[in-house]
Structure 1
Amino acid sequence: MKGFTSPLWPIHFKPLPDELLSSWLVRLAHSHGLKVQTFCNLLFGNTCQVWNRDIDRLAPDWLVTELSDRTGVTIEQVMATTLQSYQGVVYHRHRASGTLAWIQCLKLHHRKFEGFGLQFCPECLAADKEPYFRKSWRVAFNVICTRHKCMLHDRCPHCGCGVAFHRNDMRHAQYVTIVSLKECHQCGFDLSRSQAIRPKYESKAIGKFIGNLSQKLFDGTLGQVEIDNLLVMRHFAKLLFTRNSTVKLYSHFCDAMGIDEIVLNTKCDIERADVKTRYHVLQVIAYLMLNLEPRLREAIKLKAIKYNHLKKDFDEMPSWHLRIIAKFSNWRINYQN
């Protein structure tokens, strides 16, 4: 390895609670007075590029091993900072490319994030002794901060750019001493000064349903019930975003809830949607999940959806959900029973 000869780096602190791998790596670079790109070039040379990929998702072995060796942190602790640690919890099987269930997309292009896949809580950043970014902020169903009871943001409110804290030091001199991760990389705005917006749920039950998921995600206590629910919720999310004109589930539930529809981009999925859209759609999904069988029955009766759409492309359907929708397999049945 180039540039370092000691087994441990001069500064080798551990990741903070729920910290993302990329956040930890950037803080390590800056703690040595180096820009992120310089630091990574010293470590890996030019052959192993770090920032032209979603390292939190991919977590290549050479990066994980090097961080473990040079910080004294175990491989398991390093992997806990990656999105791969959500396998079997938030999603079932890891994929190196394409959409990963409930993990937000960064839309990387030449080391730039063209999407809005990294959220933040302004009050968390303001309260941090050293600001850092949380792993749970990359999860699509997590739209609120359970600590501060405010909405998460997914972009700078001053310039509208997505978060890319690994580019913050590009506006500074060659050697850096203090570069805060809470700065917007584009305009320098202090993200901790973003407005703290309190969520307004359509009902207390919906708020509790969404809040419980976020809290259990942060606490690491998502059990089999929540994992099964997430599978079902994501399937319904696909049905809400569908381009199929015969599926009118979104309009039906907005009407049933007495809320206004918003324009959904049917060319994307919930992992690529902005935080305001996800906040809205999650409430619709929560409304359905809170009384699943009767509300599905009513939707089928009013021809908002057909039985075959409930099963299509749903290969990992929980057995309890299969039992529910099996009751709708015969469209001639009396849905009043």
Structure 2
Amino acid sequence: MMVPARLPVAPRPFRDELVTSWMARVAARYGAEPFELMVFLAGQAGRYAGARQIDDVVPDMGLLRLWAKACRIDPERLRRRSLASRYPGRPQGWLLTETVPVCLACFDADVAAGRDAYLRKNWRLAEQVVCPEHRTMLLDRCPACRGHLRLSLRMLNGLLRPFCRKC
């Protein structure tokens, strides 16, 4: 029987953070993408090697438990970060699933506060087109390459910063 991995470093989720954002921050600490770390954790737990990505809307509790155990965190705390839990009764069509638009000013505020950049839960709401804090449009395209925004987190000066995967 294989013993599930325990990660020595795992940042705690922010109050308004998406589950997938937290997972990206954990994985980035190890120079990996979330799916790579998911496959590693699933393999260490003796589970299926065909691990899949976590869904922010209704995450698979088995996968959440796997991450929770590896990161020494209560799985219920992670489940409460799901969009279905945060917005009960909301039709799933009102939650963005493909691309998460972002507020660049929020990322700048993260830098100014000396914390990792992260994706906020309200950015996944279909009706949210302006950041309520900074009053700026949420962007779903990279300002540099104009492609659909696909963020990756990388370590810079000891903190995680967002980067476009395309450019």
The two structures have a TM-score, normalised by structure 2, of 0.79
CA distance in 2, matches of 1:38, 1:101: 29
The answer to whether the aligner puts 1:147 opposite 2:133 as a matched pair is yes
**Higher normalized strand content (fraction of residues):** 2
Distance change >3 Å, CA 76–CA 3, structure 1 → 2: closer
CA distance in 2, matches of 1:23, 1:125: 13
1:132-151 Cα offsets, whole Å, 9 max, x none, are 11111010111111211222
CA distance in 1, matches of 2:144, 2:25: 24
Unaligned ranges ≥5, structure 1:
93-99, 107-116, 170-175, 188-337
The structure 1 residue matched to 2:39, chosen from 41, 44, 48, is 41
Identity %: 26
Instruction: Name the aligned partner's letter for residue 164 of structure 1.
Output: R
CA distance in 1, matches of 2:36, 2:161: 17
1:1-337 → structure 2 map (5 Å cutoff): 5=5, 8-45=6-43, 46-50=49-53, 55-88=55-88, 91=90, 100-106=92-98, 117-128=99-110, 129-165=115-151, 168=152, 178=156, 180-187=160-167
Of structures 1 and 2, the one scoring higher in RCO (CA 8 A, sep 6+) is: 2
Q: CA RMSD in A?
A: 2.6
CA distance in 2, matches of 1:177, 1:158: 20
CA distance in 2, matches of 1:67, 1:37: 12
**Higher normalized helix content (fraction of residues):** 1
Number of positions where the alignment pairs a residue of Structure 1 with one of Structure 2: 156
* Structure label with greater radius of gyration: 1
Counterpart contact for 2:56–2:83, Cα < 8 Å: yes
The two structures have a TM-score, normalised by structure 1, of 0.42
1:234-261 Cα offsets, whole Å, 9 max, x none, are xxxxxxxxxxxxxxxxxxxxxxxxxxxx
Counterpart contact for 1:155–1:162, Cα < 8 Å: yes
